[in-house]
Amino acid sequence: MGNPWVYVGGLILLAAIGLALVLAVLSLRSRRLVKGDRLAIRREGPRLVRWVIRVIRIVVVLLAGLVVLAAGVVMLVTPGPGIPTILLGLAILASEFVWARIILRRLLQVAGLVGERVGLTARELPPDAGRIRRYGFAVGQFLRPMARRLGLSAVPVRGSGKLSPMQALIVTLDGPAGSGKSSVARLLAQRLGVMFLDTGAMYRGLTALCLEQAVDPGQDPQQAVALGQRARFRFDWHTDPPRLHIEYAGVDRDVTDRLRDADVTRAVSDIACNSGVRRLMVAMQQRIGEEHPRLVTEGRDQGSVVFPKAQVKFYLDARPQIRAHRRAEQLRQAGKPADEAQILPQIIERDRRDMARPDGPLVCPEGAIRVDTSDMTLPQVVDTLERQVRERAAASVSGASAAQQG
């Protein structure tokens, strides 16, 4: 029987080759390889070989460094040049430190991407999936920060309805009340496989809290800000659309069904025009964007103030009469009374106040794509936006690849 260390060394070498192949494939432009571009395969072949050789070399050198280091430690308690041997081992390890960090970063990328995909897949399972849904989402929440810290999120994959988690992608939808932002943003997020943030719900949630605490947002704006600072806003990302919870005075409540009530609708403009509240909400929304870099978000200042560097921006609009009709239908579907004749002047007044406020006014963000939804069905609007997002994301990826090659 041969020396067992020979077998151990052989296994380590095979593992290194396997790891090298995995990392090499991940490092290449896999979209071209998957599409069967033989020219790309021939062009990328040398890079694959270099990755394999590089990883094998790194593993061997690191193992040698560890062996020398261990020998030095043993020599400290036995006759022999312990300290010089330890220094030699450290020197060997340091010689490949940079590349070892690169390898570790790639492994963390893989772990982060897997976690993000597991979390998204679990979120899309039906509620009755129970334990699988809960544990899958927990795995995603645990590993997803790796992807976020490494700047990873969504780019399109050919032949897939979802987006492959690679680079950060924030899509903003701005526009006046009743332009269809919430419905479009939610469906667009579903198609892209990313999170959906309803920022209007946050303003409405604070409005509802003010009314329940007998605070008039128009007459006592400072007290409204104080309530917002003491409250904790939380979205339940397990639900579709995410439901808004507000924790105040030690009580956590789901306020989603309260947001479209008539008294909230009448008072929300006072909250939205409150500069202190807007600063508070902008900070919350930016924090959500950092935690969920794969995001479709809608509001009135998303592309102009909250996410001015968003990869794709839209500005949705429609004629006031159309918007009033849509809002009335939305209320009726929720089982609430609605009068279009009363809603129309409210929408027009809300437009005036939103455009005139000093902080975060309703404007078409710079670089945004304007879409008039007056004569479009909901599926048509979502189709239009999805096509634009995929085209821009693909162009962004192609540009990044070209820059790396250059």
Three-class secondary structure of residue 369 per DSSP: strand
Residue-wise pLDDT tens digits, 308-346:
999 999 999 999 999 998 888 878 877 788 888 888 988
Helix boundaries (H) for 196-244: 199-212, 221-230
> Among 118-132, 165-179, 258-272, 322-336, which is the least confidently predicted range?
118-132
Displacement of CA 10 from its chain's centroid (Å)? 42
Average pLDDT value for the chain = 74
* Cα 215 to Cα 112: distance, rounded to the nearest angstrom: 44
| The 369-372 sheet, strands edge to edge | 195-198, 294-299, 169-174, 312-317, 369-372
**Matching CATH number, 164-405, of 3.30.70.20, 3.40.50.300, 3.40.50.720, 3.50.50.60:** 3.40.50.300
The mean per-residue pLDDT over the stretch 34-60 comes to: 54
Q: Give the closest residue to 388 by CA, choosing from 406, 365, 366, 368.
A: 368
pTM: 0.58
Mean pLDDT of 80-88: 68
Q: Could you state, in order of their start, the residue ranges of all structural domains in the chain? A: 4-149, 164-405
